[in-house]
Amino acid sequence: MNDTCQPAARDYDSLRTMVIVAHVCLLLGIVTAHMAAIGAVIIAYIQRNEARGTVWEGHYEAIIATFWVALIGLIVGVPLCFVLIGIPILAVLAVWYIYRAIRGLVHALDDKPY
């Protein structure tokens, strides 16, 4: 058996596991006042350099983008709730956020790129 293939397989499994953990944290952010989402984006920033050129790179980029767009959407949407326009903005943002997190998790579990 070739020992040089095992570290690559271990790296692949490690990257996959961290992508799954990050997507789960992104989903848990909904019920943890986005504290878990902060953990997801930290994981993504730390792991994305290791994932360059792999199927997991897109997952980390998607987690980072989802976090920042959601944060900006919350910053804009919450104050606009006082004039009622923020409610539909936050509703659309919530659906989009959940879709992105679930899509990423399903693709990660199926070993597919984001």
Q: What is the pLDDT of residues 42-101, one digit of tens each?
A: 999 999 999 999 999 999 999 999 999 999 999 999 999 999 999 999 999 999 999 999
Give the pLDDT score at 11: 87
Between helices 5-28 and 86-109, what is the axis angle to 10°? 160
Nearest to 110 by CA among 30, 11, 20: 20
* CA-to-CA dists, residue 39 to 5, 10, 16, 19, 47, angstroms: 31, 23, 16, 12, 12
| pLDDT value at 7 more than 60 | no
Task: Please tell me the pTM assigned to this model.
Answer: 0.88
The residue ranges of every structural domain in the chain are 5-109
pLDDT band (50, 70, 90) for residue 33:
confident
